Amino acid sequence: MSRPLDIGLSQIKTLLIKMGRLSQEAIELSLRGFFDGEDTYVQTRAWSNTILILSEEVEDRATELMALHQPMAGDLRTLKAYIKIAYDVERFGRYAMDISDIRNRIGEWEPYPDEESFRQMAEKTRDSVAMSLEFIETMNERLMWDMSKLEAETDELYLANLSKLSESTEHSKTIIAYLLTIRYLERIADHASYISESISYAVTGKRVSLR
């Protein structure tokens, strides 16, 4: 028979997965809007707000389980990890909203003539988010080193794109739009890494940093 604590943990995990999938949709929509010149802010903001509400629900449920069921060490680590992961996933949604809001803040811009490296960074970020969801679903901390490699590749693209933009003679709005977007993508990838660290801590009790 399952413990009430086990049922509660399962419910929180389900919420995190729901948040993660919604954040994937928000990121995908915001990037489509960025590269295709579409205004996606209203929908992305709505999803971001929903993710925020769900993250608060995760925190409330985890706190209640701690207060009512006196979790053992392993369960307590998992609950602490889930609270932190909820924040990280909430950041996915917020940065997706920020990307979609650039057009409202600075107006229209001309696409960068050679977008390939920017699109590559966007794809790596998508991969990082997808892998972070796999961490949540499987609790397979051995995937951490795959995440470490992916983060290094994303950081390399971020620095290369930063250098490209710093030397660019394109219109200032174009430079600002791409500069903000690669920064938001870099932060999304960082939070994906933080999720892998939290899962590793929950499973092994050891704190490992990919930073």
Q: 114-164 pLDDT, tens per residue?
A: 999 999 999 999 999 999 999 999 988 888 888 989 999 999 999 999 999
pLDDT above 60 for 1? no
Model confidence pLDDT, tens digit, residues 183-210: 999 999 999 999 999 999 888 887 777 6
Taking the alpha carbons of 198, 203, 205, 206 in that order, is the dihedral positive or negative? negative
**CATH topology (fold) of 4-204:** Methane Monooxygenase Hydroxylase; Chain G, domain 1 (1.20.58)
Please tell me the predicted confidence (pLDDT) of residue 17: 96
pLDDT above 70 for 2? no
pLDDT above 90 for 6? no
What lies within 8 Å, CB to CB, of 6 at 6+ separation is: none
Please tell me the predicted confidence (pLDDT) of residue 46: 98
Average pLDDT for the chain: 93
pLDDT above 70 for 211? no
Distance CA 195, CA 59 (A): 15
Please tell me the predicted confidence (pLDDT) of residue 161: 97
Please tell me the predicted confidence (pLDDT) of residue 71: 83
In the chain, where are the structural domains located? 4-204
pLDDT above 70 for 55? yes
Cut 0.85: pTM above it:
yes
pLDDT (average), residues 78-96: 97
